[in-house]
Amino acid sequence: MLNLSQNGCSVWVASSSEGLLTPTAVALGKFDGVHLGHQRVIQPVLHPGDRLSVASSPQSKENQQLTNQEYTYSTVVTFDPHPQEFFTGQPRTLLTPLDEKVQQLRSLGVEQLVLLPFDKELSALTPEEFVQKILVQQLQCQRISIGQDFCFGEKRSGTAKDLQLIAAKHNIPVTIVPLQTYTGDSPTQSSCVSTNPTQDARISTSLIRQTLEQGDIENANLLLGRPYTLFGVVVQGQQLGRTIGFPTANLQLPKEKFLPRQGVYAVRVFTLSETSNASSSENLGVMNIGNRPTVNGTYSSAEVHLFDWSGDLYGKKLAVELVKFLRPEQKFPSLEALKTQIQLDCVVAKEVLSAEWEQ
């Protein structure tokens, strides 16, 4: 059991029933990205007016009184590892690694995150066994929220409607949230599926990954409901940027973080405090994600150049919000040609960021 209490609400990450806060109101799913569609699924289990303060603990008198009154803890239940990783045996990069997922769920008002170990035993449970063993016995679930396309149980044999019928036998109401689509300006409820984010596309993790792979940051951010952000600690790089007048902060990113298309981006950069993820300052800049072919780079890196910045960032944690893809990574014939291009990148990025600010 890992207690990640912070900033006014308690989020618990659990891989067993020991220490769980019960009874629960459960949102079920994979929730990678915690995008607009996921947020709609989570909404029915929230009760922001009843949230516990960070000072409360499962053993406190205040908590005990709420439990006696059948207070239900808003709980997101997901799987670790990602089911696709379990079945393929291949590591899967994520839009929101665990730390980011916890941060996003906390900001929504979720009190508890339960990670179910996705293994042979769990994957072999029938839909009825999953409800009985996990939702009823372990989580003491009082109500459930799921997306319309939710599948569960052995070989994904259980559908959302099946869950509704099985849970009804235990007097547990199930909310089935319609699929969310993006119509170009706002999310709507629909079961329409498309591959073009600007033409009635179903909001999904796979679609967001696709838009990021294409460098379509604007639509990815709209589907997420927030900027796609890279979190990393500044580590020492080759310091080649200094030699051409463009010092960069070399970010060490979580290995499981999904990276967008290689190339140059206009970005907003926030320096995070050491004790929390609260931002202490904001800067504008450009970021390069790639192998730096001009200097014969042999590994992928993420480097940020901040406009009008001087100071030491080593060891600092940065949050880099991607605003716009500027150009693909390319190899230049010389460092002077690279320097000229970076100057142009900075001019374009400043225009993009300035226009965004004015909107």
Asked if residue 131 and residue 17 are part of one domain, the reply reads yes
DSSP code at position 299: S
CATH no. for residue 332? 2.40.30.30
Peptide linkage before 81 cis (omega within 30 of 0): yes
> Residue 184: pLDDT band by 50, 70, 90 thresholds?
low
Asked if residue 281 and residue 201 are part of one domain, the reply reads no
Q: What is the pLDDT of residue 97?
A: 93
Asked if residue 132 and residue 104 are part of one domain, the reply reads yes
User: Which pTM value belongs to this model?
Assistant: 0.83
DSSP strand pairing (24-28 vs 12-14):
unpaired
Average pLDDT over residues 202-213: 95
Total count of domains within the chain: 3
Average pLDDT over residues 218-228: 95
Asked if residue 24 and residue 171 are part of one domain, the reply reads yes
DSSP code at position 167: H
Q: Which of 193, 224, 255 is the last residue of a domain?
A: 224
Asked if residue 165 and residue 22 are part of one domain, the reply reads yes
Q: What is the pLDDT of residue 331?
A: 85
Asked if residue 233 and residue 220 are part of one domain, the reply reads no
Asked if residue 186 and residue 168 are part of one domain, the reply reads no
Q: Which of 224, 240, 256 is the last residue of a domain?
A: 224
CATH no. for residue 33? 3.40.50.620
Is the pLDDT reported for residue 244 higher than 70? no
Domain coverage including residue 137: 2-177
> Residue 51: pLDDT band by 50, 70, 90 thresholds?
very low
Asked if residue 274 and residue 145 are part of one domain, the reply reads no
Asked if residue 249 and residue 201 are part of one domain, the reply reads no
Asked if residue 122 and residue 160 are part of one domain, the reply reads yes
Asked if residue 349 and residue 236 are part of one domain, the reply reads yes
Under a CB-based contact definition with an 8 Å cutoff, are residues 305 and 246 in contact? yes
Tokens of 320: 């880099």
Asked if residue 16 and residue 30 are part of one domain, the reply reads yes
User: Where in 102-192 does DSSP place strands (E)?
Assistant: 112-117, 141-147, 174-177, 180-182, 187-189
Is the pLDDT reported for residue 282 higher than 60? yes
Q: To the nearest whole percent, how much of the chain has pLDDT over 90?
A: 53
